[in-house]
Structure 1
């Protein structure tokens, strides 16, 4: 080998090792940087005639594609379960547990106790007032819970709008980065930093929509949802949604009261099991708005209907004409079975017994339409009301099965259903959380190891010193030749 060839070899070695040392320093400096992937230099032998040396082929960005995909899928599953569990936990908290006075069961028990107390002294005005207060509290509890369900639906609708806008923004950024990576790849420049940033954007998108990526020419990627929707392939898809700023009971997608989703102007399904975007936090919000909350509303309305009808069917109140409302009403009128949706948000006690609306509490004893007080010692109507609460009867609506329930039993069944659903959701969330944390730990284990990087740096220093020694030797030989 000529002196010139040896010098070229050494110089190329110095350059390659300087690049390696830069990458090692970058790896160590970014050990805690989100989205950063360990880099190394891809080198090979450079052979041109009798010249050798080191050829730098580019920077290798180390990533486990299968592990990355699994972690993204797990992240979407966690986000989905977290949203659903939060809704169920909130609904369960509003219903409360039977041992708490402010719970639905607790208010029902208080109402029953006041009826029993008033029946023992029907002449006592304060006891009749207590019955009215307890009845109002029970109706207001149902209404407050119904209002909270609609608030949850409204919040879900707003969250959908936020996530759709965020997804569109992320897809637009990913399209731009794809173009930058394709250009830099075409000029053989280092684009690892761009790929890191792109991965971070894909990670954010994958929490909302489970997805898979497909490699394209010049380092670009295409993105598809796991349900088959094309989100990015050359150009970014446009996801469409129109928010509804106040969601009321009975509002649904089919009549057009609520917005669904479109992709590039084409409507897609939004069901938790049917949507092409299913599996992440976006469709979880649709599930809350269009499935879980309406189901909760249906169950609560069934309970409100059962309460109203029990008191409409009390024959002991002879002051009521056929078709007149009982103690509990649908906004002051008799309940119509064709108008059940949202009933729990409209339930109210009869104005004639409520002193706050000009009524008199003695009508609890004498009948809701009584024009004058009757015998003050007559407790038959109060006793009939108590019996109505205990009467076991089939539930006319809702999803409570074919059994017969007292009102307390129906309330307990609803509370039990919601508690069971929340417990099951908690279990799924716990599993998703454990799985996600395990995958994150595996990713971290495959990331930058500072001890290994320092060992690589020592090897690089030795190689650098060896190449420097070759240059020094060539310089000495050249001096000798010049002196000849």
Structure 2
């Protein structure tokens, strides 16, 4: 090896080790940053024109990656976020049930009403018993109305959160467009784009929290992003994601759809519905879970109105609303009476504070004189009260669309509604816990594969220091030989 080649080898080695030292310093500094991946220097051997090895060449900076683990993390994150969103909503819906010992749920209020009527039937001339029955009837109606108000607030909140999620998605897509442009141009020019790749991965991970996605890698580091249902979210440029929020909700309100690149992906009319992400969870909560629970409350209200309806004593088979009133007339169980739980109230004709009579609970006649079961006005008359008590456990037909047994008594149907919500919440809690473990372990495995180990970096730094020292000694040796050569030629 000539002295010039030896000097070239030493100089290139020093430059390469300097680059490696700089990259290791970057690794150590970024070790605790979320999403930071380990960087390494790509080296190759340089050759002289005669084919002799002539030092080291820095070809670029590479980063560790694992596409399979990363794709799994995106998917599991989307699923976990969706499940957590639904669980949060169901936890709020469970406020209609509250502590079972406090008996605040509609089912508990129904039981209290039944008990007060049983007590009243045992002493039909007792004014205190009559007042207690009236109070429990009012509490029953209040419970259904307040439960409906909470359910619709949950839906309105979910709708507002959907608007927030859409804004976040559009913001992330904008960042993705900027980073993707830097990566493509940098890759084409041979620049170091590893930090931009890390940043893009973090943007995609944040995007997966909002909406389920899949990615496709292309030449020059380019990436294409689709929803998990196959609608294009990003390809060179960000696609438009739009949503029109609905401010006020009642049982008859339907929210709007989320539209990606002109295709509805969540909400009514979604032709390519997404299956994960916060946006999916919010849409499921707003349009499915909360709506089903509202329908159950409406069916309880309808069953209550029917159970307390009065029959015309002069024309059998003709019925009118009795102690409980709702908008319109009782609706057959083939159709869920949307929003009737929000309107149910106690007939003012039974309330002395509104000019009514307590005796009407015992005797009937709330719908008019023809509906009076006790025209003689006997103080000990209890037949009507016994009939009302029996009605709680009489089998009746409920709507089959509310995910409960359509052939049940009013009491068992109300209890089943509580069980439906609590069992659903319990199952979702279990799902969230399992998914949390999956996300955590996937993230841990990805970090173990692509992250920075400080001990390894420090060991590499020592090796580079020794290599740097060896290159320095080679330069010193070449310098000494050159000095000797010059002295010999004088």
TM-score, scaled to structure 2: 0.90
- Kept in 1: contact 2:211–2:227 (CA 8 A): yes
Matched ranges for 1:166-177 at <5 A: 166-177=168-179
Q: Equivalent residue of 2:308, what SS?
A: helix
Distance in 2 (alpha carbons) for counterparts of 1:65 and 1:18: 30
TM-score, scaled to structure 1: 0.91
Q: Equivalent residue of 2:413, what SS?
A: helix
Q: Residue in 1 aligned with 2:288? A: 291
Q: Residue in 1 aligned with 2:150? A: 148
Distance in 2 (alpha carbons) for counterparts of 1:282 and 1:272: 15
Give the drift of 1:240: 1.2
388 and 323 in structure 1: CA distance in 2 versus 1, 3 angstrom threshold: closer
1:392 aligns with 2:395: yes
1:88 aligns with 2:90: yes
Higher mean alpha-carbon deviation, 474-483 vs 354-363, is at 354-363
28 and 396 in structure 1: CA distance in 2 versus 1, 3 angstrom threshold: closer
1:329 aligns with 2:332: no
Question: Structure 2: where are the runs of 5+ without partners?
Answer: 370-374
Q: Residue in 2 aligned with 1:255? A: none
- Kept in 1: contact 2:312–2:319 (CA 8 A): no
Task: Determine which of 304, 307, 310 is the counterpart of 1:307.
Answer: 304
- Kept in 2: contact 1:223–1:230 (CA 8 A): yes
Distance in 2 (alpha carbons) for counterparts of 1:2 and 1:317: 123
Matched ranges for 1:429-448 at <5 A: 429-446=432-449, 447-448=451-452
Question: Structure 1: where are the runs of 5+ without partners?
Answer: 253-257
1:419 aligns with 2:415: no
- Kept in 2: contact 1:400–1:413 (CA 8 A): no
Distance in 2 (alpha carbons) for counterparts of 1:108 and 1:277: 40
Q: Equivalent residue of 2:320, what SS?
A: coil
1:348 aligns with 2:352: no
Q: CA RMSD in A?
A: 2.6
305 and 295 in structure 1: CA distance in 2 versus 1, 3 angstrom threshold: same
Matched ranges for 1:93-132 at <5 A: 93-96=95-98, 99-132=101-134
- Kept in 1: contact 2:232–2:261 (CA 8 A): no
128 and 98 in structure 1: CA distance in 2 versus 1, 3 angstrom threshold: same
400 and 315 in structure 1: CA distance in 2 versus 1, 3 angstrom threshold: farther
Task: Determine which of 206, 209, 233 is the counterpart of 1:207.
Answer: 209
1:406 aligns with 2:403: no
317 and 41 in structure 1: CA distance in 2 versus 1, 3 angstrom threshold: farther
Distance in 2 (alpha carbons) for counterparts of 1:6 and 1:317: 118
Higher mean alpha-carbon deviation, 114-123 vs 30-39, is at 114-123
Give the drift of 1:321: 11
- Kept in 1: contact 2:110–2:411 (CA 8 A): yes
Give the drift of 1:70: 0.3
Q: Equivalent residue of 1:58, what SS?
A: strand
- Kept in 1: contact 2:120–2:126 (CA 8 A): yes
Give the drift of 1:126: 2.4
